[in-house]
Amino acid sequence: MSNTAEIWLLDDDHHVLDALAQGLKLEGWSCRTFDKPSALLQALNPNFFGVIVTDLNMPEMDGLSLLQALRASDEDLPVILLTGYGDISIAVNAMQNGAYSFIEKPVNHTELHKILQQAGEKRQLCLENRRLSSQLRESRRGKVQLIGDSPAINQMRHLLDLVLDTPADVLIEGETGSGKELVARYLHDNSLRSDQQFVAINCGAIPEQLIESELFGCEAGAFTGADKKRIGKFEFANGGTLFLDEIESTPLSVQVRLLRVLEERKVTPLGSNISIPLNIRVVAATKTNLAQLSQQGEFRLDLYYRLNLLQVAIPPLRQRRQDIPLLFKHFAMLAAARYHKPVLPLNQLQLDSLLSHEWQGNVRELRNLAERYVLLGPEAAFMQQGLPLADTFGSAMGLSERVAFFEQMLIEEALSATRGSIKLTMQALNLPRKTLYDKMRKYGVVRSQFKDDDAVDELN
């Protein structure tokens, strides 16, 4: 079995180091060895996905000093100490100061393997929650972020990040409610064009006789009813991003002119002889297969190829079920802040119901449910949605994942209700301060997300 977390081994005894590394590699672990603490500290980075196993007694820096230095760099980094006979009391003291665990020499590889698996899972969860917390903070600052950690969403996010600051036009394909405009806004908000206009137009919602003037603009008197000059969406979005939703609804007669504008990067308003140069990114979106429409003669093939320079396919929600709990929690917390209501944690039956639903309306349907959940309460919201609350087996989440999700939501709900007060949260959950802090670190819960800027620190 291959293990994804990397193991860094530190020991000044090369024989012990080589034996440890060889044993772990045979069990599927990826290992890196160090014989000096300074070399390990220099190689470490904040996004290190792995576990550190270090000897306790070393000449350059002992294990306790190294532990202190590592925790100063990253307090959530799992550190396992290798101890000799007589060092047990020191190792126990180290655990009280943040070490993940300790192993006595000679090493029991079965025990070490089990501890490494647990520590690696904890590290992965910590890094995932850090990233999601960062996304939430960015969204609260006004920048659109894409919530989710499934492979499909990570792959899509990576593709978008590669082209953020290029002038390349983008074609987004996705089912109704999958978040096509959100993806377009992500491209805009995180690019160098973010301080310019983001202009969205639904090509299917504009009458055919008006769409040309809406897109390209017109001079007064250009046609019957044009009693004044109109700035078109292309000109209005100049310097920024133009989002053309439901591009498949554009009349064929308009597609010819649209192709010319995209190729020449110039637009001429109806009734004018003066072309306006464009510095613009065009993002088009469709819920249908444009290639198939083109073959049927219902969409211009040359326009399809021009738009299809970079294609982004948004996976439907049913194909990324592991994102459902994260998205639901995100939408519920936003609704709670908007409506000044608490967020009740999901129970296991409700969570199973969410994970087993087909979500034909995709993220939009999930967001609507989350808002009703906050406004009406769980039972009424699920009833209106037609979601079953009977026990369902074969859930996409195991017991440990359900418990962790439930526990995290309870903590976040309490922090939200107390506006980030640690003292009041401790009282609400009946938890000691250290236990609360440990659980917040475990789940990547950041107090600043819930604290009002004007809150009094004496309530901490």
- Burial degree of 110 (CB within 10 A; 0-12, 13-18, 19+): exposed
- Count the neighbouring beta carbons within 10 Å of the beta carbon of residue 24: 21
pLDDT at 456: 38
pLDDT band at 457 (very low <50, low <70, confident <90, very high): very low
Measured CA to CA, the distance from residue 271 to residue 226 in angstroms comes to: 10
Measured CA to CA, the distance from residue 435 to residue 458 in angstroms comes to: 20
Contacts of 160 by beta carbon, 8 Å cutoff, 6+ apart: 146, 183, 186, 187, 312
Mean per-residue pLDDT, 249-269: 93
**What superfamily in CATH does domain 6-129 come from?**
Response regulator (3.40.50.2300)
pLDDT at 458: 35
φ, ψ (nearest 5 deg) of residue 450: -110, -15
- 116-129 exposure pattern, b = at least 16 Cβ within 10 A, e = fewer: bbebbebbebbbeb
pLDDT at 173: 95
Strands 6-10 and 281-286: unpaired
- Burial degree of 369 (CB within 10 A; 0-12, 13-18, 19+): buried
Strands 241-245 and 198-202: parallel
Contacts of 88 by beta carbon, 8 Å cutoff, 6+ apart: 102, 104
Q: What is the pLDDT of residues 7-56, one digit of tens each?
A: 999 988 888 899 899 989 888 888 999 989 999 999 998 888 999 999 88
Q: What is the pLDDT of residues 125-170, one digit of tens each?
A: 777 777 666 655 555 455 677 888 788 898 899 999 999 988 889 9
- Asked if pLDDT for residue 298 goes beyond 50, the answer is yes
CATH topology of domain 151-313: Rossmann fold (3.40.50)
Q: What is the pLDDT of residues 163-222, one digit of tens each?
A: 998 888 999 999 999 999 999 999 999 899 999 999 999 999 998 888 988 999 988 877
Q: What is the pLDDT of residues 415-439, one digit of tens each?
A: 877 878 888 889 888 888 888 888 8
Angle between helices 399-417 and 422-429 (to 10 degrees): 130
Mean per-residue pLDDT, 287-310: 92
Domain map of the chain by residue range?
A: 6-129, 151-313, 318-459
Question: Do the domains 6-129 and 151-313 sit in the same CATH topology, yes or no?
Answer: yes
Q: With a threshold of 0.75, does the pTM exceed it?
A: no
User: How many Cα atoms within 13 Å fall on the side-chain side of residue 394?
Assistant: 2
- The tokens for 118 are 């647990």
Mean per-residue pLDDT, 391-411: 61
- Torsional sign, CA 410, 414, 420, 423: negative
User: Comparing 52-66, 86-100, 320-334, which segment has the lowest mean pLDDT?
Assistant: 86-100
Measured CA to CA, the distance from residue 212 to residue 230 in angstroms comes to: 11
Measured CA to CA, the distance from residue 242 to residue 248 in angstroms comes to: 16
Q: What is the pLDDT of residues 215-238, one digit of tens each?
A: 999 888 777 777 788 899 999 999
